[in-house]
């Protein structure tokens, strides 16, 4: 199974990409949101890949972010939602917005996606609501990087509430501190002060 591709973006269209990896061109389908985030044709690109093997085809679906790939994996577990429908859903809403809509049970937001009817939206919510809430809890706050997420996790493990930890880490990170130990130390000072 192909899990990742890194190579030169030879062809770029909303329907599919062709990524040249050492002389072999791989056709990869991506969501419109991933397509918009890709560099220009000819540039180097790295994509997380979901390989779908059917009776008569081997299809590759590419993702720019880990969150988008995780949501795709969750979507295709729902009865009646195949890889192409999942890609259509991810094209209709950015990954973070989709995650939030599913977690909140927002049927109206999901029905606004072309090809998603009320019954499908309700089924998505019923089957994925708890799963995406866990994804949301593990996702770093908007604008936060891996360092900030690690610092928040460390503070939560020390017994602080998630919201308090996020607020303290955001404040410290806004000051330009980029060393993990220093971020944690200053955030602890803010929390205990």
DSSP per-residue string spanning 64-126: SSHHHHHHHHHHTTSTT--HHHHHHHHHHS-HHHHHHHHHHT-HHHHHTSTT--HHHHHHHHH
Same domain, 59 and 104: no
Same domain, 51 and 93: no
Q: What is the mean pLDDT of the chain?
A: 87
95-132 pLDDT tens trace:
888 988 998 899 999 999 999 999 999 999 999 988 88
Tell me how far apart the alpha carbons of residues 43 and 61 are, in angstroms, rounded to a whole number.
19
Distance from the Cα of residue 151 to its chain's centroid: 21
In this prediction, residue 160 carries a pLDDT of 86
Domain tally, the chain: 3
144-190 pLDDT tens trace:
555 677 788 888 888 888 778 888 888 887 777 778 888 888 889 88
| DSSP bridge pairs for 23 | none
Same domain, 70 and 128: yes
Last residue of a domain, one of 103, 120, 138: 138
pTM attached to this predicted model: 0.69
In this prediction, residue 81 carries a pLDDT of 92
- CATH code for the domain in which residue 182 is found: 1.10.8.10
Same domain, 170 and 150: yes
133, 103 in Cβ contact below 8 A? yes
- CATH code for the domain in which residue 95 is found: 1.10.150.20
Owner of token pair 């859903």: 89
Tell me how far apart the alpha carbons of residues 23 and 39 are, in angstroms, rounded to a whole number.
20
Domain that holds residue 174: 146-192
Of the two residues 140 and 19, the one the predictor is more confident about is: 19
Q: Does residue 68 register a pLDDT over 60?
A: yes
Same domain, 134 and 152: no
Cα angle 84, 109, 66; round to 5: 50
Q: Quick one: three-class SS letters along 4-64? A: EEEEEEEEECCCCEEEEECCEEEEEECCHHHHHHCCCCCCEEEEEEEEEECCCCEEEEEEC
């Amino acid at each position: 199974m192909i899990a990742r591709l890194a190579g030169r973006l030879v062809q770029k269209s909303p329907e599919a990409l062709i990524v040249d990896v050492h002389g072999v061109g791989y056709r990869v389908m991506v969501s419109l949101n991933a397509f918009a985030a890709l560099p220009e044709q000819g540039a180097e690109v790295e994509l997380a890949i979901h390989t779908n093997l059917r009776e008569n085809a081997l299809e590759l679906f590419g993702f720019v972010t880990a969150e988008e790939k995780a949501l795709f994996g969750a979507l295709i577990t729902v009865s009646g939602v195949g890889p192409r429908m999942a890609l259509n859903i991810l094209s209709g809403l950015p990954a973070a917005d989709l995650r939030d809509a599913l977690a909140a049970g927002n049927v109206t937001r999901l029905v606004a996606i072309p090809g998603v009817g009320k019954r499908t939206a309700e089924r998505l919510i019923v089957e994925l609501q708890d799963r995406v809430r866990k994804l949301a809890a593990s996702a770093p706050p908007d604008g936060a990087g891996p360092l900030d997420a690690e610092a928040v996790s460390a503070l939560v493990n020390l017994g602080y509430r998630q919201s308090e930890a996020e607020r303290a880490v955001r404040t410290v990170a806004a000051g330009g501190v980029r060393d993990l130990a220093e971020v944690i130390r200053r955030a602890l000072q803010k929390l205990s002060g």
